[in-house]
Amino acid sequence: MGRGGNRGGGRGGRKAFRGKGKNNRGGGRDTRTEPWSDIKRENELFESYYRKGGFMEEEEFGEMWKYLASDLPNSFRFTGTKSDALAVREIFKRRYIPAIEALDFEGTRVEPPKPVEGFPDELVWDMKTHKKVIRRHKPFAEFQKFLVAETTSGNISRQEVVSMIPPHFLDVKPGMVVLDMCAAPGSKSAQLAEMIHGDEEERVMQAARNESPNIDDGGDYSDDGRSTGLLIANDTDYKRAGMLVHQVKRLNFPNLIVTQHDASIFPSIELPSAEGEKKQYLKFDRILTDVPCSGDGTARKNPNVWQKWTPKDGLGLHNLQLRILFRGLQMLKKGGRLVYSTCSMNPVENEAVVAAAIEACGGISKVRIVDCSDHLPKLKRVPGLNRWKVFDTSAFPGSQEKMGHLFTSWDNFVKAQAKYRAEEPERQFSSKVSPGCFPPTASSDEERIPLERCMRVYPHLQDTGAFFIAVLEKLDDIKVAQIRNADNEAELRKATNELEATVPASAATSAVEKIKEEAVEEANGDATPGDRSPLKRKLEEPDEDAASKRVKAEELPAQPVVKPEEQDKETGADVPMAVDDVQPEINGTTTVSTPALSNQAKRLKPEAQSQSKEFFEYLPADDPTVADILDFFGISERFPRDRFMVKNKEGLTLNKIYYTSALAKKIISQNKNRGMKFIHCGVVMFVAHKIKDGNIKAPWRLQNEGIRILEPWASKRIVTCTSKQTLYKMLIEMFPKLPKDGSHEIGEIGDQLTDMEVGCSFIRIEPSEGEDGFPFRMVLPLWRHPGSANMMVDKDDRKAMLLRLFNETNPIIKNHVLEKARAAEEARKDELEAESRELDEELEQVVDEAQAEEVDGEEKPVLGDYMEVEA
């Protein structure tokens, strides 16, 4: 990853809401007007469910609840390549920890940040002092500046600790093909990209020096050290997908594609195949399904949980979560690994989804839950649940009063419903409960799904938010699925209705105030658990050949457009979306009473479509513009020439030239006309230099984003910086002068530039030991003008570098070009004023002359005078 601004100005970080796209219910966006500290952290229904739902002992519940109602510590992660991340972490430890340790705030010693146990290399830190205190109070000003500057430069990610866990369990290796199905705003995608990237830069430099890379981490380094892996980050929500692009763009990762699809019907991705050969479709080594959820585990930072929690939030999302997970398992390679995660504590959104998906895939011989007890051993967690109660509410129409009901099984639920229909036909339930919400009932020990292998992280275990993680491995192709869809449920309901008469009137006993425990039959042992197992229907693995069939997307209104990065982009109509011929036929509705959707209707649920279209046109390997640029920089023939792309319909090298990995190219080229919605791919490698600067062979600028990918292969236009002092001068002066007589003030850089032709070049800075050395390798672009030089790093990034390398908190960056332009503007202003004075004088003269005329002739109205009308 680039330093010194090459990650742009991304300000990522998760919002205090979790996936409230159009499909999501629950807490929703934080819309409160009153301050967080004034929000009452109480909610009777919420508390009753977690207290009575049988999740933990009363004593532990008390501890958990106390933490859940307290503020969340402030956490962050050092990001980027490992060597860069470790270098910035060292600066932080050396400079800021001692300063914070010495602070007093409101009479108490400040507890400094600490590395979070369980995460490798001390790259994750948290701090008890609240974010707001750090932001607003003077003693923390220096530390706050560091956090802001490094977050902007992309060296720090302000991410919640628990949210960092799922990618760690995916066990991603460089070279793997990974899908993040619900990725926005992208903090986990960033982690995954880092993992796929590995120590790529180090390896590429070794390859360029013809050294054989010394690696045995199982990655594929056949592409001259470059990672052959790929991350596809997807989100259905148009605006959030825009946030995702913004977040991942600063990673400068050419092995990344962002798509915008409903993950539950994510299209199969076609791979190129020879004429007449059977079509091949991409299967993933790793998949993350960090699904939309009720988010009740984020209560420490999300007031909506306290204000709005209802059991409907989780119940309403169960089916969408199940469909997303099922689709993920379909697209996973045999032997591949999938992590399912939520920030909810509700088993209906967690263990129930995992169990229902495994059942839908054909059981534990097809998909197993991986025992991860030996992975991240310092991370405190508790086993997943095998038993839980499902919570629902009911009310009479028009009444505000709600009654809570706890059900232990689908049978009891159906029986209780029948009883209420007979006794209180007016009472209405949320009708979001489906059979898959309940604990699975295996017919034998061998078939039992070991849900205890799932992981629950609770707030009190290590002072974090709550999270749920399940690691799944696909053992075999999914050929037969057990489906519980609305048709089957209706059949089941019909069958169980016949049992109504057998339900004793006393079936439902009062448990907590308004909460009813609807599980008495089972508890008394007099219930005959009905056959919960649904009717079976065959579901073949998608017939990939049929995947190219098109389904016309519904016409939807125009959506806001992602900030365009290319001016010459055109808009075009959406291409119909390609989906698998056979989609997971899990109940697409969330209610037991809703009529079944036709298969066609289930497929016709595309996400909101935008009217704008990105173009991704690859340039031919012998493109003359690219050839000139590569020649100008002396780029080795070993650097691939066929991966350059432009983003205009005509495929012209107008403004920007992008670079992508080989696999990204294959996928984009093969699928862009199949209806896939690609919304981002590629790092900007070259930008057209439009200022007249003489006759330059390659009037293109190197870009921070792509410079480190290209630099190891360059043999020309390289300037080496060896002194910190020189770099300092280059940073505080935007355009240091380079007079013809060689009397510059920029040390070794100026010496090397003296005889260099006008145009772009690399500044190479190698790391060196000691306080006076450079903490990490840097490569920066520089433009040599006829009379000056310009390191092409923007002001914010210059400031970040000055702070990081020189501890300079308020640098004044000189820009004589801007000053000259301002002076010219001032001079022009003076000129304009003079012109305007002259005009006034002329006008006065005209008026005087007009008045003089009056003396001789008829009276005429003049400017500033008024007419006298004769009576």
Residues designated as active site: 343
* Spatial contact of 758 and 694, defined as CB atoms under 8 Å apart: yes
Under rule CB under 6 A, residue 81 binds ligand SAM:
no
Asked if residue 187 belongs to a known ligand binding site, the reply is: yes
Q: What is the 3-state secondary structure (H, E, C) of 173-197?
A: CCCCEEEECCCCCCHHHHHHHHHHH
642 is an annotated ligand-binding site residue = no
Q: Which is nearer to ligand SAM, 155 or 163 (CB)?
A: 163
Question: Contacting ligand SAM (CB under 6 A), which of 48, 151, 236, 609?
Answer: 236
Please report whether residue 185 would count as binding ligand SAM according to CB under 6 A: yes
Q: Least distance from C-beta 660 to ligand SAM, angstroms?
A: 23
Of the residues 3, 6, 8, 24, which one makes contact with ligand SAM according to CB under 6 A: 24
Number of residues that bind ligand SAM (CB under 6 A): 25
304 binds ligand SAM (CB under 6 A): no
User: CB-wise, 339 or 619, nearer to ligand SAM?
Assistant: 339
Which one of 197-205, 256-264, 418-426, 550-558 is the stretch in contact with ligand SAM (CB under 6 A)?
256-264
Position 508, amino acid: A
Exactly one of 240, 312, 318, 717 binds ligand SAM (CB under 6 A); which one? 240
We find the least distance from the C-beta atom of residue 160 to ligand SAM, in angstroms, to be 9
Can you tell me the distance from the alpha carbon of 645 to that of 647, in angstroms, rounded to the nearest whole number? 7
Burial string for 777-811 (b: 16+ CB within 10 Å, else e) reads bbbbbbbbbeebbbbbbeeebbbbbbbbbeeeeeb
Compute the half-sphere exposure of residue 775: CA atoms within 13 Å on the CB side of its CA.
20
**Residues between 283 and 302 that touch ligand SAM (CB under 6 A):** 290, 292
Mark the segment that binds ligand SAM (CB under 6 A) among 82-90, 262-270, 437-445, 677-685: 262-270
Question: With left for phi above 0 and alpha for psi between -120 and 50, is residue 870 left, alpha or beta?
Answer: beta
Burial of 92 by CB count in 10 Å (0-12 exposed, 13-18 middle, 19+ buried)?
Answer: buried
Work out whether the CA dihedral 442, 391, 321, 229 comes out positive or negative: negative
Stretch that binds ligand SAM, among 119-127, 229-237, 391-399, 844-852 (CB under 6 A): 229-237
With a CB cutoff of 8 Å and minimum separation 6, the contacts of 861 are 867
Q: At what angle do helices 747-754 and 724-732 cross, to 10 degrees?
A: 80
Indicate the residue among 297 and 439 with the shorter CB distance to ligand SAM: 297
Phi, psi of 417 (to 5 degrees): -60, -45
Q: How far is the CB of 161 from ligand SAM (least distance, A)?
A: 13
| Residue of the chain from 161, 165, 182, 520 that contacts ligand SAM (CB under 6 A) | 182
Residue nearest to ligand SAM (CB): 19
> Is 290 marked as a binding-site residue?
yes
Asked if residue 262 belongs to a known ligand binding site, the reply is: yes
Verify binding: residue 129, ligand SAM, rule CB under 6 A.
Answer: no
Q: Are strands 509-512 and 515-517 parallel, antiparallel or unpaired?
A: antiparallel
Q: In angstroms, what is the minimal distance from the CB of 247 to ligand SAM?
A: 8
Of 171-179, 261-269, 414-422, 473-481, the segment contacting ligand SAM by CB under 6 A is 261-269
Residue 171 DSSP symbol:
-
**Shortest Å distance, C-beta 152 to ligand SAM:** 18
The β-bridge relationship of strands 390-395 and 403-407 is: antiparallel
Q: Which stretch binds ligand SAM (CB under 6 A): 17-25, 478-486, 531-539, 646-654?
A: 17-25
Read off the DSSP letter of residue 92. I
Question: Which tokens belong to 428?
Answer: 């209405």
Q: Is 184 annotated as a binding residue?
A: yes
**Environment class of residue 244 by beta-carbon count within 10 Å: exposed (0-12), middle (13-18) or buried (19+)?**
buried
In the list 235, 285, 313, 349, the residue contacting ligand SAM (rule: CB under 6 A) is 235
Query: Could you give the CA distance from residue 809 to residue 426 in angstroms, rounded to a whole number?
Result: 68
> Judged by CB under 6 A, does residue 588 bind ligand SAM?
no
- 56 contacts: CB under 8 Å, gap ≥ 6: 64, 382, 458
Task: State the nearest-atom distance from the C-beta of 178 to ligand SAM, in Å.
Answer: 13
Q: Find the shortest distance in angstroms from Cβ 186 to ligand SAM.
A: 5
Q: Is the dihedral of CA 469, 471, 474, 475 positive or negative?
A: negative
**Site for ligand SAM, residues 311 to 370, rule: CB under 6 A:** 320
**Shortest distance (Å) from residue 244 CB to ligand SAM:** 8
Binding residues for S-adenosyl-L-methionine are: 182-188, 235, 262, 290
Binding residues are: 182-188, 235, 262, 290
Question: Interface with ligand SAM by CB under 6 A: which residues?
Answer: 14, 18-19, 21, 23-24, 163, 181-188, 235-237, 240, 262-264, 290, 292, 320
